[in-house]
Amino acid sequence: MAGILTDKKIIVMGVANKHSIAWGCAQAMAAQGATIIYTYQNERLKRSVSRLVKATDNLVECDVANDNSIQDAFSTIKQRFGTVDGIVHAVAYAKKDELGGSILDASRDGYALAQDISSYSLIAVAKAASQFKLLTNPASIVTLTYFGSERAIPNYNVMGIAKAALEASVRYLARDLGPAGVRVNAISAGAIKTLAVTGIKGHGELLKMSEDRTADGNSVTLEQIGNTCAFLMSDLSTGVVGDVIYVDKGVHLI
C-alpha cells in the first residue's frame, strides 16, 4: 500500500546525528514514501549526515545564517528537483553561556544570535523558497519548537525567547504563504535526549521531570514526533494552518 507521502519531495534541515528530531522526521517521512533532500551546515556536519543516509540520498550544503548560502542551496535544489512538496526546519542555536543563570545576564550579541539562527532563519528559508518558486501547491513547512516558549524553563533563557518568536513567525508566515497553498505549522516536541538538549545545564533533571509529567509516565519518542511531522507534510493535513502541535504526551497541560 502506498504511503501518505508517496511521490513527495521534502527538504529536511537540521540533522546532526541519529538522535536528532530532524532525523526522526526524515525517517518517518521516508517510510511513508517521501524522497528526502538533506541540507547540512558545513563539511563537518556533512560527514556526520553522510554516515546516516543512503548513498543515493541527496545532500546539499546550506548555512541558514547566511542568505547567500540559502540562495545557493535552493538554486541547486531547484535545478535538481524542479519543485518540492515541503520543508522541515529543525535548526536552532544559542551560545551555551546564554542559556544558564539569569536572563538579565544575556548579552545583546548572544540574544541576537539565538534569534537569527533559531527564529529568523525560518523566515529566510521561506523567503528563498518563495523567490525560487520551489514549493508546490499544496505544500507544507514544519518547524520545531519547545514548551520553553511559553514557560520560563530553567537554563533555557534566550532559546525560550527565540522559540516564542519562532512560533509567532509561524503564524505570520502561514498568513502570507497561505494564498500560494503553503501551510506553515510547528511541532512542540517533548524533551528527549538530543544534541541540543544535552547542551542545557541540568538536562538530566529536565528529561526526568518531563518524563514524570507525561500522561503515561513514558517519554515521547523520535518516532512519535516523526510520525506527526509526516502527517503535517501530507495532504491529510491541508486544514491545519498556523498551529503549534504538541507532541509531548501531555506535559504542556499536566
Annotated binding site for substrate: 94
**Spatial contact of 165 and 121, defined as CB atoms under 8 Å apart:** no
Annotation: binding site for NAD(+): 14, 20-21, 41, 63-64, 91, 163, 192-196
**Catalytic residue at 156?**
yes
Q: What does the alpha-carbon distance between residue 252 and residue 221 come to, in Å, rounded to a whole number? A: 16
The string of DSSP letters for 133-150 reads T-EEEEEEEEEEE-GGGT
Asked if residue 38 lies in contact with residue 56, where contact means CB atoms within 8 angstroms, the answer is no
Based on the residue annotation, tell me whether 146 is a catalytic residue of this protein.
yes
Q: Which of 38, 111, 146, 246 is catalytic?
A: 146
Q: Which of 111, 156, 172, 246 is catalytic?
A: 156
Find the DSSP H helices in the chain. 21-31, 43-50, 67-81, 108-115, 121-131, 157-177, 195-198, 203-213, 222-233
How many other C-beta atoms can be found within 10 angstroms of the C-beta atom of residue 77?
Answer: 24
Burial of 217 per CB tally in 10 Å (0-12, 13-18, 19+): exposed
Q: Please state the φ and ψ torsions of residue 154, each to the nearest 5 degrees.
A: -55, 140
C-beta separation of 54 from 89 below 8 A: no
Q: Is the N-terminal amide bond of 179 cis, ω within 30° of 0? A: no
Task: Point out the annotated binding site.
Answer: 14, 20-21, 41, 63-64, 91, 94, 163, 192-196
Residue 22 sits at φ, ψ, to 5 deg, of: -60, -35
Query: Which residues form the catalytic set?
Result: 146, 156
